[in-house]
């Protein structure tokens, strides 16, 4: 893996966030420090993770710390490579840890890494795409398993639990984020939380869920109706679907992210619901559920091949309800590859 971008203007980079630890070293234990330079790669872990790090961090020197000697060991390693300027993960490191690090690594200069690691991670390798494809497959297969279970009187909590259980059965190691399974007027809240509310006749039901698979996330959203859809529900749903399809058509290498957002947003605005779509069209997905790029109305990021992004327009009407439809796609030269195969036609349940 090329780390030259990380090492611009510094002698070494200290990686501390769990996702970047795994990305740059292979270590999935989540707790440790990774020191990268042009001449050496070192990972520091305590005794709980030594064996794991030795098996996962190919090409790294594994140094075990304990008894409060972590920064002494890091200092020794920095002195070996004559490092004077260190980049650190300012987006993820706590102030307390940073202050302690500055105190212990006396004589070193510190530069914030900013979003350099995030930019590197935004373009996926073929191996990463394969893992993300499998993670998304688990998600939509879980949805297919749960669809026949959705019935009147079922609680939102039960629905969320079924989605999570099915993803686990299909091979997920956990949830990518807290499952959203909400119904009725609550669907006007984009990130509403499930509770003991029961699914009622005529309710919209929005399910936004994803799993973790070998460190990578999936993300999809579907909205269904219980029993029968009203004319207004059908209108709102079809408007969101038309916007989502336009967004998918727009996503390709070379497009500016805000232009992809506008392609979908224009459909919703022309239907008179512009004020009811407050979030971005989508976001990058990888080891974190929200990564670069952001497909927002202000984003100047130019999409490139092998970015993985969501396309998830929505309409949210307080006192009525809302609809969101979300797929996860791979950016290609002349379009995008959709990794989410579940139907997007309005489904009647119950």
Residue 277: name the closest of 301, 312, 253, 306 by CA. 312
Q: Are 253 and 333 within 8 A, CB to CB?
A: yes
**How far is 38 from 242, CA to CA, in rounded Å?**
50
Residue 2 predicted with pLDDT over 80: no
pTM of the full predicted structure?
0.95
Question: Is a pLDDT exceeding 90 seen at residue 227?
Answer: yes
Tell me the mean pLDDT in the region 22-43: 96
Rounded Cα distance, 350 and 344, in Å: 18
pLDDT at 269 over 90: yes
Q: What is the mean pLDDT of the chain?
A: 97
Task: Give residue 4's pLDDT band: very low, low, confident or very high (50, 70, 90).
Answer: confident
Question: CA neighbours within 13 Å on the CB side: how many for 55?
Answer: 6
Class of the 123-349 domain? Answer: alpha beta
Q: What is the pLDDT of residues 318-345, one digit of tens each?
A: 999 999 999 999 999 999 999 999 999 9
Closest-CA residue to 190 (of 211, 176, 202, 208): 208
Q: Are 28 and 215 in contact (CB under 8 A)?
A: yes
Where do the structural domains in the chain lie, given as residue ranges?
A: 12-121, 123-349
Q: Is the pLDDT of residue 1 over 60?
A: no
What's residue 106's pLDDT? 87
Query: What percentage of residues in the chain have a pLDDT greater than 70?
Result: 99
Q: Using an 8 Å Cβ cutoff, are 187 and 158 in contact?
A: no
pLDDT in tens, 128-184: 999 999 999 999 999 999 999 999 999 999 999 999 999 999 999 999 999 999 999
Percentages (nearest 5) of helix, strand, coil residues in the chain:
35, 25, 40
Taking the CA atoms of 250, 253, 255 and 258 in sequence, report the sign of the dihedral they define. positive
Mean pLDDT of 81-103: 94
pLDDT of residue 198: 98
| Residue 329 φ then ψ, to 5° | -135, 155
Residue found under tokens 């399809």: 245
CA–chain centroid gap for 20, Å, is: 13
pLDDT tops 70 at residue 193 = yes
Supply 347's token pair. Answer: 């489904």
Whole-number pLDDT of residue 175: 98
Q: Does residue 43 register a pLDDT over 70? A: yes
% of the chain exceeding 90 in pLDDT? 97
What string of DSSP letters covers 223-262? Answer: EEEES---HHHHHHHHHHHHHHHHHHHH-STT-BHHHHHH
CATH homologous superfamily of domain 12-121?
Creatinase/prolidase N-terminal domain (3.40.350.10)
């Amino acid at each position: 893996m090329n780390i030259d971008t990380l090492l611009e203007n510094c002698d070494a980079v200290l990686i501390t966030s769990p996702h970047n630890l795994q990305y740059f070293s292979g270590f999935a234990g989540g707790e440790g420090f990774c020191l990268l330079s042009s001449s050496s790669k070192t990972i520091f872990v305590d005794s709980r993770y030594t064996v794991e790090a030795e098996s996962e961090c190919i090409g790294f020197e594994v140094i075990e710390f304990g008894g409060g000697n972590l920064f002494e060991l890091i200092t020794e390693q920095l002195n070996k490579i004559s490092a004077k300027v260190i980049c650190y993960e300012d987006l993820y490191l706590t102030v307390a840890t940073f202050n302690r690090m500055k105190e212990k690594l006396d004589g070193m200069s510190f530069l914030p890494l900013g979003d350099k690691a995030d930019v590197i991670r935004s373009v996926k390798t073929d191996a990463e795409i394969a893992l993300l494809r499998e993670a998304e497959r688990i998600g939509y297969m879980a949805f297919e398993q749960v669809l026949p279970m959705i019935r009147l009187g079922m609680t939102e909590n039960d629905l969320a639990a079924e989605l999570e259980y099915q993803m686990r059965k299909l091979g997920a190691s956990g949830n990518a984020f807290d499952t959203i399974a909400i119904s009725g007027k609550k669907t006007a809240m984009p990130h509403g939380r499930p509770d003991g509310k029961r699914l009622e006749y005529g309710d919209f039901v929005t399910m936004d869920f994803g799993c973790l698979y070998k460190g990578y996330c999936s993300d999809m959203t579907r909205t269904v109706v219980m029993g029968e859809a009203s004319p207004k529900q059908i209108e709102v749903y079809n408007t969101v679907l038309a916007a989502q399809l336009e967004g998918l058509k727009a996503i390709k290498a070379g497009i500016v992210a805000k232009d992809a957002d506008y392609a979908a947003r224009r459909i919703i605005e022309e239907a008179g619901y512009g004020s009811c779509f407050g979030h971005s069209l989508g976001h990058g997905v990888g080891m974190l559920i929200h990564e670069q790029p952001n497909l927002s109305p202000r984003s100047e990021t130019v999409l490139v091949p092998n970015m993985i992004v969501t396309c998830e327009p929505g309409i949210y009407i307080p006192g009525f309800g809302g609809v969101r439809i979300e797929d996860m796609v791979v950016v290609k030269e002349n379009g995008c590859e959709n990794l989410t195969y579940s139907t997007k036609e309005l489904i009647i349940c119950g």
